[in-house]
Chains A and B, each alone.
Chain A
Amino acid sequence: MKAGAYPNNPLSGRPLFSDPVFQLHPGKGARLARVGRQNLIRAVPREPGWLHPWTVTPLFEPKDAAALKPGEADSEWRAYIEPGFVNGREAFIKMPPAWPPGRKQAPGEEPRDVALTDEQPPYLVIDGFRNPLSAGGIVEKENGDFVVAAGEGYPKFFETLGVKRPARGGDLLDATSFDSPQDDQRTRQIRACDIVLTHPRMGSHVDFQQVQVPLTQPAELIGSPVFDSSFALATGGRSRLRATAHFQTSPVDSLDALFLTLTGTQTPQFDELKIATIWFISPPEALDDAIPDGTWEAYVQHSVFWNLNHATKVAPPTEAADPVHFFLPLAGGAGQLAIDLSLFVVNELISELTSLLNAADTNGYFWSI
């Protein structure tokens, strides 16, 4: 049967979903949400009951007809998010100036932040998907060989729904390394996207200045931490939500983060946290390059269930700290050998540098309350 085709009632010959014998009607406590044309009828309580903060509800909805451009799809996937709070303040979603439909926008008006607690709640448009079945690219092994990385994969739950296997990866010269293994029982496609929370905070970097000294004396490097809250002030400290095909970040304590601070590059003035992943499952026998539409079904995998607090690792001192002085070895002068061999000197330098970096480390952490 072609994907997306209506099955027929063999008794009447009519498509099942238009056959009155097959009609499903919502009764007490039920609301039928028909998604797609397969067996995707969901009955949910009329009153949804309590939903935890950050609950994501994906829906395939029609766009504003007046704003449609020629050739544009008339519907899109949207993610509605139950209000969630960071440090007691709700998160926002950036919405276009023409939203909600019928709103008069001022000339040149920019997209604006809309709170999750607004009476007409905003939503995220999901227009970027990643394919967990695809091979993960070409990577180099420790021995220098190049291999094809396996597909990202997906939660085991989706195997029971008949989702195709991810690319197995392997030898670069083997064409099958890029393909999903064939399985007639598993013909459904899967796509994913991530919902990410961005929270602004103070940023920092270390300012190094080299003092010019005569050649006969040690060169001196002066380092002092510099703190910057310009982004937090510009955004009013608002947390924002966004949808992205694949969310990736370096851990707060990673070498990358410390390197940014050390080299004087401004650390980013925000922290990010993945709220949820939305998995989209196609009807059977969907094409490999299919894009999720109304015939697909969405499943949400939440990563966060409660409201959050956030804080930076350090706070700027009330008074400017004394800058740290680093004395570099004499330029070809006497005592160079002794200095090089002095482990005490090296350890001192490392200790001072570590303290300086830690004093300027404004990377932040989230925790739930």
Chain B
Amino acid sequence: MAMRSFGGHRLFKGNGVRLRRFAGGYVVNFDHEVSGFEGAWATDLLGDGLARIAPGTINRFAAKIGKALLTDTPPPLLNFGKAKLASDGRGWICAEVTCDPARQWQIIDLQIVQVADPDHDEDESRNAATSVNSIGGARPLANHRARAPLAMLRKRDGGGIDVFQIAYFDLQHSVALYPDHTPQRHFFW
């Protein structure tokens, strides 16, 4: 490592660092490119109600938008139009699993959807007891479905929408059942 020494203090240059001296002192430059991280399910908003979601799997079952796999070329885009948002301006991009109770609740379909609430369907009525999920897991939905949040949408005062990534890796899924074999909770990990 190259070193500058002055007044009893020493500066050590690390990897990717350049020191340039001038009359006013030293300028510190970095050569490193800013690196990001894009895992599975990475969500980008493209404007006009369109989103691109990186491929991902649940129990190795590949996700789709409609009939198109996320791994298709070109990859499909999620066209959700006007974002469905809750009263607090939040919405979610979710992976929605459909399971088959006759086949040990195996996943038979995996769709990417945009919803206002991962734990409730739009037309579902709520009460105080069901509005908050106090036992965790994913709440079972009608027709043997459940949703894993992948990204959260947040509407800003200026009207724009920001996206916050939640899931970064392929997931596993399982269902906990009541004694009468109805679904109690869905787990994603």
- A32 in contact with B34 given A306-B168, A312-B135, A317-B178 (CB within 8 Å): no
User: A95 interface residue, CB < 8 Å from B?
Assistant: no
Question: Is the CB–CB distance between B30 and A43 below 8 Å?
Answer: yes
- Kindly list chain A residues whose C-beta atoms are within 8 Å of the C-beta of B178: 317-318
Q: Which of B132-162 contact A (CB under 8 A)?
A: 132-137, 148-149, 152, 154, 156-157, 162
Question: Is the CB–CB distance between A237 and B6 below 8 Å?
Answer: no
Binding site for B on A (CB under 8 A): 7-12, 16, 19-30, 32, 39, 43, 45, 47-50, 52, 83, 85, 87-90, 117, 119, 200-202, 229, 232-233, 236-237, 306-307, 309-312, 315-318, 362, 364, 367, 369
Return A84 CB to nearest CB of chain B, in Å: 9
Question: Is the CB–CB distance between A311 and B187 below 8 Å?
Answer: yes
- A25 in contact with B25 given A11-B7, A117-B164 (CB within 8 Å): yes
**Which residue from B30, B118, B164 sits with its C-beta under 8 Å from A83?**
B164
Distance in angstroms between the alpha carbons of A89 and B157 in the assembled complex:
20
Question: Is the CB–CB distance between B30 and A311 below 8 Å?
Answer: no
Question: Is the CB–CB distance between A49 and B34 below 8 Å?
Answer: yes
- Kindly list chain B residues whose C-beta atoms are within 8 Å of the C-beta of A85: 149, 152, 164, 166
- Kindly list chain A residues whose C-beta atoms are within 8 Å of the C-beta of B24: 20, 23, 25
User: B46 interface residue, CB < 8 Å from A?
Assistant: no
Question: Is the CB–CB distance between B189 and A309 below 8 Å?
Answer: yes
- Kindly list chain A residues whose C-beta atoms are within 8 Å of the C-beta of B26: 23-25
Question: Is the CB–CB distance between B30 and A22 below 8 Å?
Answer: no
Binding site for A on B (CB under 8 A): 6-9, 17-18, 20, 23-32, 34-37, 92, 118, 128-129, 131-137, 148-149, 152, 154, 156-157, 162, 164, 166-169, 171, 176, 178-180, 182, 184-185, 187-189
Question: Is the CB–CB distance between A29 and B32 below 8 Å?
Answer: yes
Distance in angstroms between the alpha carbons of A275 and B94 in the assembled complex:
25
Question: Is the CB–CB distance between B152 and A88 below 8 Å?
Answer: yes
- Kindly list chain B residues whose C-beta atoms are within 8 Å of the C-beta of A49: 34-36
Question: Is the CB–CB distance between A315 and B184 below 8 Å?
Answer: yes
- A369 in contact with B25 given A19-B7, A309-B136, A315-B185 (CB within 8 Å): no
Determine the residue in chain A with the shortest Cβ distance to B33: A29
Question: Is the CB–CB distance between B28 and A201 below 8 Å?
Answer: no
- Kindly list chain A residues whose C-beta atoms are within 8 Å of the C-beta of B136: 87, 201, 309-312, 364
- A237 in contact with B8 given A27-B20, A45-B34 (CB within 8 Å): no
Question: Is the CB–CB distance between B166 and A88 below 8 Å?
Answer: yes
- A88 in contact with B129 given A25-B28, A232-B134, A310-B136 (CB within 8 Å): no
For the A-B complex with A8-B7, A23-B24, A202-B135 known, give 6 more contacts whose Cβ atoms are closer than 8 Å: A7-B7, A117-B152, A229-B132, A310-B136, A311-B185, A318-B182
Return B9 CB to nearest CB of chain A, in Å: 6
Question: Is the CB–CB distance between A233 and B7 below 8 Å?
Answer: no
Q: Which 8 A-B pairs have the closest CB atoms?
A: A88-B149, A23-B25, A311-B136, A29-B30, A232-B134, A27-B29, A9-B7, A237-B132
Question: Is the CB–CB distance between B132 and A27 below 8 Å?
Answer: no
- Kindly list chain A residues whose C-beta atoms are within 8 Å of the C-beta of B180: 318
- Kindly list chain B residues whose C-beta atoms are within 8 Å of the C-beta of A201: 134-136
- Kindly list chain A residues whose C-beta atoms are within 8 Å of the C-beta of B148: 88
Distance in angstroms between the alpha carbons of A83 and B185 in the assembled complex:
26
Question: Is the CB–CB distance between B20 and A47 below 8 Å?
Answer: no
Return A320 CB to nearest CB of chain B, in Å: 13
Question: Is the CB–CB distance between B188 and A369 below 8 Å?
Answer: yes
Distance in angstroms between the alpha carbons of A28 and B149 in the assembled complex:
38
**Which residue from A202, A310, A315 sits with its C-beta under 8 Å from B176?**
A315
Question: Is the CB–CB distance between B188 and A24 below 8 Å?
Answer: no
Distance in angstroms between the alpha carbons of A317 and B180 in the assembled complex:
11
- Kindly list chain A residues whose C-beta atoms are within 8 Å of the C-beta of B154: 117
**Which residue from B9, B35, B37, B128 sits with its C-beta under 8 Å from A16?**
B9
Return A280 CB to nearest CB of chain B, in Å: 23
- Kindly list chain B residues whose C-beta atoms are within 8 Å of the C-beta of A309: 136-137, 187-189
